[in-house]
Amino acid sequence: MKLIVVGSANMDMVMTTERVPEAGETLHGTGFFLSPGGKGANQAVAGAKMGAPTWLLGKVGDDIFGQSISANLARHGVSTDYLTAEPGVSSGVAAITVCGGNNRIILAGGANDKVTPEYVDGFREEILSASAVMLQLEIPLPAVYRAVELAKGRTPVFLNPAPAVPIDDSVLDGVDYFTPNEIEARFYTGIQIRGTEEAFAALDRLRAKGIRFPLITLGDKGVAYFNGSRNVHKMSLPAEVVDTTAAGDTFSGTLAAMIVAGKPMDEAVDIAQRAAAIAVTRPGAQDSIPVLAEVLGENPPRG
Ligand code: RIB
Protein backbone atom coordinates (compact mmCIF):
# COMPACT_ATOMS: atom_id res chain seq x y z
CA MET A 1 0.00 0.00 0.00
CA LYS A 2 1.44 3.39 -0.99
CA LEU A 3 -0.24 6.79 -1.07
CA ILE A 4 1.69 9.53 -2.90
CA VAL A 5 0.57 13.10 -2.33
CA VAL A 6 1.86 15.44 -5.03
CA GLY A 7 1.40 18.86 -3.53
CA SER A 8 2.27 21.84 -1.40
CA ALA A 9 3.89 22.32 1.97
CA ASN A 10 3.68 25.64 3.79
CA MET A 11 4.48 27.25 7.08
CA ASP A 12 1.21 28.68 8.39
CA MET A 13 1.49 31.99 10.25
CA VAL A 14 -1.73 32.11 12.20
CA MET A 15 -3.21 35.19 13.84
CA THR A 16 -6.37 34.83 15.92
CA THR A 17 -8.66 37.83 16.16
CA GLU A 18 -12.12 38.77 17.40
CA ARG A 19 -12.88 40.57 14.16
CA VAL A 20 -11.24 41.15 10.79
CA PRO A 21 -9.72 44.62 10.28
CA GLU A 22 -11.00 46.91 7.55
CA ALA A 23 -8.67 48.29 4.87
CA GLY A 24 -6.32 50.81 6.52
CA GLU A 25 -7.24 49.70 10.05
CA THR A 26 -4.78 48.32 12.66
CA LEU A 27 -6.17 45.92 15.21
CA HIS A 28 -4.86 43.99 18.22
CA GLY A 29 -5.18 40.26 17.60
CA THR A 30 -5.76 37.73 20.37
CA GLY A 31 -2.87 35.37 19.60
CA PHE A 32 -0.29 34.11 17.14
CA PHE A 33 1.32 30.77 16.34
CA LEU A 34 3.39 29.07 13.63
CA SER A 35 2.09 25.74 12.41
CA PRO A 36 3.26 23.54 9.51
CA GLY A 37 0.52 23.40 6.87
CA GLY A 38 -0.08 23.41 3.13
CA LYS A 39 -2.91 21.43 1.59
CA GLY A 40 -0.58 18.75 0.21
CA ALA A 41 1.32 18.28 3.46
CA ASN A 42 -1.88 18.36 5.53
CA GLN A 43 -3.50 15.69 3.37
CA ALA A 44 -0.34 13.59 3.54
CA VAL A 45 -0.36 13.85 7.33
CA ALA A 46 -4.04 12.87 7.39
CA GLY A 47 -3.27 9.84 5.20
CA ALA A 48 -0.38 8.76 7.43
CA LYS A 49 -2.35 9.30 10.66
CA MET A 50 -5.08 7.06 9.22
CA GLY A 51 -2.53 4.30 8.68
CA ALA A 52 -1.65 4.62 4.98
CA PRO A 53 2.09 4.54 4.17
CA THR A 54 2.33 8.04 2.69
CA TRP A 55 4.90 10.07 0.74
CA LEU A 56 4.79 13.82 0.02
CA LEU A 57 6.19 14.68 -3.42
CA GLY A 58 6.99 18.38 -3.57
CA LYS A 59 9.41 21.12 -2.61
CA VAL A 60 10.27 23.27 0.38
CA GLY A 61 12.78 26.13 0.59
CA ASP A 62 16.32 25.77 1.92
CA ASP A 63 15.35 27.81 4.98
CA ILE A 64 14.42 27.22 8.59
CA PHE A 65 10.74 26.81 7.66
CA GLY A 66 11.65 24.07 5.19
CA GLN A 67 13.55 22.20 7.91
CA SER A 68 10.66 22.56 10.32
CA ILE A 69 8.07 21.46 7.72
CA SER A 70 10.12 18.35 6.84
CA ALA A 71 10.68 17.47 10.48
CA ASN A 72 6.97 17.77 11.24
CA LEU A 73 6.05 15.54 8.29
CA ALA A 74 8.51 12.90 9.50
CA ARG A 75 7.16 13.22 13.06
CA HIS A 76 3.69 12.40 11.75
CA GLY A 77 4.93 9.41 9.73
CA VAL A 78 5.02 10.95 6.23
CA SER A 79 8.03 9.96 4.12
CA THR A 80 10.00 12.97 2.84
CA ASP A 81 12.04 10.90 0.33
CA TYR A 82 10.32 12.71 -2.59
CA LEU A 83 10.51 16.17 -0.97
CA THR A 84 13.35 18.43 -2.12
CA ALA A 85 14.76 21.58 -0.50
CA GLU A 86 15.05 24.05 -3.40
CA PRO A 87 18.25 26.13 -3.13
CA GLY A 88 17.86 29.89 -2.83
CA VAL A 89 14.08 29.84 -2.51
CA SER A 90 11.88 30.45 0.52
CA SER A 91 9.38 27.88 1.70
CA GLY A 92 5.71 28.36 0.99
CA VAL A 93 3.99 30.53 3.57
CA ALA A 94 0.31 30.99 4.42
CA ALA A 95 -0.88 34.07 6.30
CA ILE A 96 -3.99 32.86 8.11
CA THR A 97 -6.50 34.87 10.11
CA VAL A 98 -8.77 32.83 12.36
CA CYS A 99 -11.88 34.67 13.48
CA GLY A 100 -14.89 32.98 15.08
CA GLY A 101 -13.57 29.56 14.03
CA ASN A 102 -13.44 30.54 10.34
CA ASN A 103 -10.21 31.15 8.50
CA ARG A 104 -9.02 33.48 5.76
CA ILE A 105 -5.82 32.46 3.96
CA ILE A 106 -3.33 34.27 1.73
CA LEU A 107 -0.58 32.14 0.16
CA ALA A 108 2.96 32.92 -0.98
CA GLY A 109 3.88 29.82 -2.98
CA GLY A 110 7.69 30.01 -2.63
CA ALA A 111 9.27 26.60 -3.33
CA ASN A 112 5.85 25.09 -4.15
CA ASP A 113 5.94 27.14 -7.36
CA LYS A 114 9.11 25.25 -8.39
CA VAL A 115 7.33 21.89 -8.71
CA THR A 116 7.48 21.27 -12.46
CA PRO A 117 6.20 18.50 -14.76
CA GLU A 118 9.83 17.40 -15.14
CA TYR A 119 10.15 17.09 -11.37
CA VAL A 120 7.01 14.92 -11.30
CA ASP A 121 8.40 12.85 -14.20
CA GLY A 122 11.40 12.02 -12.02
CA PHE A 123 9.02 9.93 -9.89
CA ARG A 124 7.22 8.25 -12.78
CA GLU A 125 7.83 4.68 -11.62
CA GLU A 126 6.81 5.52 -8.06
CA ILE A 127 3.55 7.08 -9.28
CA LEU A 128 2.78 4.15 -11.56
CA SER A 129 3.29 1.65 -8.75
CA ALA A 130 1.42 3.62 -6.07
CA SER A 131 -1.98 2.57 -4.66
CA ALA A 132 -3.25 6.13 -5.18
CA VAL A 133 -2.07 9.62 -6.09
CA MET A 134 -3.53 12.62 -4.34
CA LEU A 135 -3.38 16.20 -5.65
CA GLN A 136 -4.50 19.74 -4.81
CA LEU A 137 -4.02 23.01 -6.69
CA GLU A 138 -1.34 24.81 -4.65
CA ILE A 139 1.46 23.71 -7.01
CA PRO A 140 1.70 24.82 -10.67
CA LEU A 141 -1.06 23.38 -12.83
CA PRO A 142 1.33 21.81 -15.40
CA ALA A 143 2.76 19.62 -12.61
CA VAL A 144 -0.76 18.59 -11.57
CA TYR A 145 -1.62 17.78 -15.19
CA ARG A 146 1.51 15.64 -15.57
CA ALA A 147 0.73 13.63 -12.43
CA VAL A 148 -2.84 13.00 -13.65
CA GLU A 149 -1.55 12.10 -17.12
CA LEU A 150 0.91 9.56 -15.66
CA ALA A 151 -1.61 8.02 -13.29
CA LYS A 152 -4.71 8.05 -15.51
CA GLY A 153 -6.16 4.57 -15.93
CA ARG A 154 -3.35 3.01 -13.84
CA THR A 155 -3.27 4.57 -10.38
CA PRO A 156 -6.43 5.98 -8.74
CA VAL A 157 -6.34 9.79 -8.72
CA PHE A 158 -7.74 11.92 -5.88
CA LEU A 159 -7.99 15.65 -6.60
CA ASN A 160 -8.96 18.21 -3.99
CA PRO A 161 -9.47 21.23 -6.27
CA ALA A 162 -8.33 23.95 -3.86
CA PRO A 163 -7.78 26.75 -4.45
CA ALA A 164 -10.11 26.51 -7.46
CA VAL A 165 -8.59 27.34 -10.86
CA PRO A 166 -9.85 26.37 -14.31
CA ILE A 167 -8.96 22.78 -15.20
CA ASP A 168 -9.19 21.22 -18.67
CA ASP A 169 -12.07 18.77 -18.97
CA SER A 170 -9.61 16.29 -20.52
CA VAL A 171 -7.73 16.31 -17.20
CA LEU A 172 -10.86 16.04 -15.06
CA ASP A 173 -11.66 12.94 -17.08
CA GLY A 174 -8.61 11.30 -15.45
CA VAL A 175 -9.78 12.05 -11.91
CA ASP A 176 -11.39 9.28 -9.88
CA TYR A 177 -12.18 11.07 -6.58
CA PHE A 178 -12.84 14.84 -6.65
CA THR A 179 -13.42 16.65 -3.34
CA PRO A 180 -14.40 20.32 -3.77
CA ASN A 181 -16.12 22.29 -1.04
CA GLU A 182 -19.35 24.03 -2.00
CA ILE A 183 -17.59 27.19 -3.23
CA GLU A 184 -15.23 25.15 -5.40
CA ALA A 185 -18.14 22.99 -6.61
CA ARG A 186 -19.87 26.15 -7.81
CA PHE A 187 -16.68 27.19 -9.60
CA TYR A 188 -16.56 23.89 -11.53
CA THR A 189 -20.30 23.43 -12.16
CA GLY A 190 -21.85 26.91 -12.05
CA ILE A 191 -24.37 25.58 -9.52
CA GLN A 192 -24.93 27.50 -6.29
CA ILE A 193 -25.62 24.85 -3.68
CA ARG A 194 -28.47 25.78 -1.33
CA GLY A 195 -29.65 22.29 -0.48
CA THR A 196 -29.51 18.62 -1.40
CA GLU A 197 -31.19 19.10 -4.77
CA GLU A 198 -28.52 21.51 -6.04
CA ALA A 199 -25.76 19.40 -4.47
CA PHE A 200 -26.95 16.34 -6.36
CA ALA A 201 -27.23 18.35 -9.58
CA ALA A 202 -23.61 19.48 -9.08
CA LEU A 203 -22.53 15.86 -8.53
CA ASP A 204 -24.24 14.86 -11.78
CA ARG A 205 -22.53 17.70 -13.64
CA LEU A 206 -19.12 16.67 -12.30
CA ARG A 207 -19.74 13.07 -13.32
CA ALA A 208 -20.65 14.29 -16.80
CA LYS A 209 -17.08 15.67 -16.99
CA GLY A 210 -15.73 12.14 -16.49
CA ILE A 211 -15.04 12.25 -12.73
CA ARG A 212 -15.96 8.87 -11.29
CA PHE A 213 -16.67 9.78 -7.67
CA PRO A 214 -17.38 13.46 -6.92
CA LEU A 215 -17.75 14.35 -3.23
CA ILE A 216 -18.80 17.89 -2.23
CA THR A 217 -18.03 18.93 1.33
CA LEU A 218 -20.69 21.29 2.67
CA GLY A 219 -19.19 22.45 5.99
CA ASP A 220 -21.74 22.16 8.77
CA LYS A 221 -24.27 20.86 6.24
CA GLY A 222 -22.35 17.62 5.73
CA VAL A 223 -21.21 16.03 2.49
CA ALA A 224 -22.89 15.06 -0.78
CA TYR A 225 -21.29 12.33 -2.86
CA PHE A 226 -21.79 9.70 -5.52
CA ASN A 227 -21.12 6.27 -4.03
CA GLY A 228 -20.90 4.32 -7.27
CA SER A 229 -24.63 3.60 -7.47
CA ARG A 230 -26.42 6.72 -6.26
CA ASN A 231 -26.05 10.23 -4.87
CA VAL A 232 -25.98 10.39 -1.06
CA HIS A 233 -26.21 13.28 1.43
CA LYS A 234 -24.79 12.76 4.92
CA MET A 235 -25.28 15.39 7.61
CA SER A 236 -22.18 16.56 9.48
CA LEU A 237 -21.46 15.59 13.06
CA PRO A 238 -21.88 18.15 15.83
CA ALA A 239 -18.59 19.79 16.80
CA GLU A 240 -17.40 22.66 19.00
CA VAL A 241 -15.59 24.57 16.26
CA VAL A 242 -12.29 26.21 17.27
CA ASP A 243 -10.49 26.40 13.90
CA THR A 244 -11.65 25.01 10.55
CA THR A 245 -8.14 25.13 9.03
CA ALA A 246 -7.33 21.76 7.43
CA ALA A 247 -10.83 20.33 7.96
CA GLY A 248 -11.16 19.75 4.20
CA ASP A 249 -7.62 18.36 4.10
CA THR A 250 -8.45 15.97 6.92
CA PHE A 251 -11.53 14.82 5.01
CA SER A 252 -9.67 14.32 1.71
CA GLY A 253 -6.59 12.65 3.22
CA THR A 254 -8.67 10.33 5.38
CA LEU A 255 -10.92 9.44 2.46
CA ALA A 256 -7.90 8.47 0.34
CA ALA A 257 -6.36 6.41 3.15
CA MET A 258 -9.63 4.55 3.72
CA ILE A 259 -10.21 3.86 0.01
CA VAL A 260 -6.62 2.64 -0.34
CA ALA A 261 -7.23 0.38 2.66
CA GLY A 262 -10.15 -1.18 0.77
CA LYS A 263 -13.06 0.37 2.68
CA PRO A 264 -16.33 0.74 0.77
CA MET A 265 -17.15 4.34 -0.19
CA ASP A 266 -19.92 4.91 2.38
CA GLU A 267 -17.71 3.73 5.25
CA ALA A 268 -14.72 5.72 3.97
CA VAL A 269 -16.86 8.89 3.85
CA ASP A 270 -18.21 8.23 7.34
CA ILE A 271 -14.70 7.92 8.80
CA ALA A 272 -13.48 10.98 6.85
CA GLN A 273 -16.39 13.03 8.23
CA ARG A 274 -15.65 11.92 11.76
CA ALA A 275 -11.96 12.78 11.38
CA ALA A 276 -12.80 16.27 10.08
CA ALA A 277 -15.27 16.83 12.92
CA ILE A 278 -12.45 16.19 15.41
CA ALA A 279 -9.92 18.35 13.51
CA VAL A 280 -12.12 21.47 13.74
CA THR A 281 -12.16 21.28 17.54
CA ARG A 282 -8.41 22.01 17.67
CA PRO A 283 -6.22 24.90 16.48
CA GLY A 284 -3.76 24.61 13.60
CA ALA A 285 -3.43 22.29 10.65
CA GLN A 286 -1.42 19.05 10.89
CA ASP A 287 -1.41 18.87 14.67
CA SER A 288 -5.22 19.13 14.72
CA ILE A 289 -5.69 15.94 12.66
CA PRO A 290 -6.63 12.89 14.77
CA VAL A 291 -5.18 9.39 14.38
CA LEU A 292 -7.42 6.57 13.21
CA ALA A 293 -7.79 5.00 16.67
CA GLU A 294 -9.20 8.24 18.00
CA VAL A 295 -11.61 8.58 15.09
CA LEU A 296 -12.83 5.03 15.70
CA GLY A 297 -13.28 5.81 19.39
CA GLU A 298 -10.50 3.53 20.55
CA ASN A 299 -8.76 6.37 22.41
CA PRO A 300 -10.33 9.21 24.36
CA PRO A 301 -10.02 12.54 22.50
CA ARG A 302 -7.03 14.70 23.46
CA GLY A 303 -7.60 17.88 25.49
O1 RIB B 1 -6.24 23.87 3.83
C2 RIB B 1 -5.54 24.57 4.82
C3 RIB B 1 -4.20 24.98 4.31
O4 RIB B 1 -4.37 25.90 3.26
C5 RIB B 1 -3.32 25.69 5.31
O6 RIB B 1 -2.55 24.80 6.08
C7 RIB B 1 -2.51 26.65 4.46
O8 RIB B 1 -1.15 26.34 4.41
C9 RIB B 1 -3.15 26.58 3.08
O10 RIB B 1 -2.40 25.84 2.22
Query: For residues 75 and 41, is the Cβ–Cβ distance under 8 A?
Result: no
Q: Of 249, 266, 270, 287, which one is the catalytic site residue?
A: 249
Concerning whether 287 is annotated as a catalytic residue, the answer is: no
241, exposed or middle or buried, with CB in 10 Å at 0-12, 13-18, 19+? middle
- Is the full-model pTM beyond 0.85? yes
User: What spacing in Å lies between the alpha carbon of 37 and ligand 1's midpoint?
Assistant: 5
Quick one: what percent of the chain has pLDDT higher than 70? 98
Over the stretch 141-177, which tens digit does the pLDDT of each residue have?
Answer: 999 999 999 999 999 999 999 999 999 999 999 999 9
Q: If you write DSSP's letter for every residue of 38-83 in order, what string do you get? A: -HHHHHHHHHHHTT--EEEEEEEESSHHHHHHHHHHHHTTEE-TTE
Query: For residues 216 and 178, is the Cβ–Cβ distance under 8 A?
Result: no
> Is the C-beta atom of 10 inside 6 A of ligand 1?
yes
Calculate mean pLDDT across residues 298-302. Answer: 55
Over the stretch 179-210, which tens digit does the pLDDT of each residue have?
Answer: 999 999 999 999 999 999 999 999 999 999 99
Mean pLDDT of the chain: 96
Instruction: Please report which confidence band the pLDDT of residue 234 belongs to, taking 50, 70 and 90 as the band edges.
Output: very high
Res 100: pLDDT: 87
Res 82: pLDDT: 98
CA distance 72 to 114: 21
Question: Would you say residue 302 has pLDDT above 90?
Answer: no
Query: For residues 249 and 280, is the Cβ–Cβ distance under 8 A?
Result: no
Q: What angle do CA 213, 175, 115 make, to 5 degrees?
A: 140
Question: Would you say residue 95 has pLDDT above 60?
Answer: yes
> Is the C-beta atom of 138 inside 6 A of ligand 1?
yes
Question: Would you say residue 20 has pLDDT above 50?
Answer: yes
Calculate mean pLDDT across residues 70-89. Answer: 98
Fold category of 3-289 in CATH:
UDP-N-acetylmuramoyl-L-alanine:D-glutamate ligase (3.40.1190)
Instruction: Please report which confidence band the pLDDT of residue 265 belongs to, taking 50, 70 and 90 as the band edges.
Output: very high
Instruction: Please report which confidence band the pLDDT of residue 299 belongs to, taking 50, 70 and 90 as the band edges.
Output: low
Res 273: pLDDT: 97
> Is the C-beta atom of 289 inside 6 A of ligand 1?
no
Instruction: Please report which confidence band the pLDDT of residue 303 belongs to, taking 50, 70 and 90 as the band edges.
Output: very low
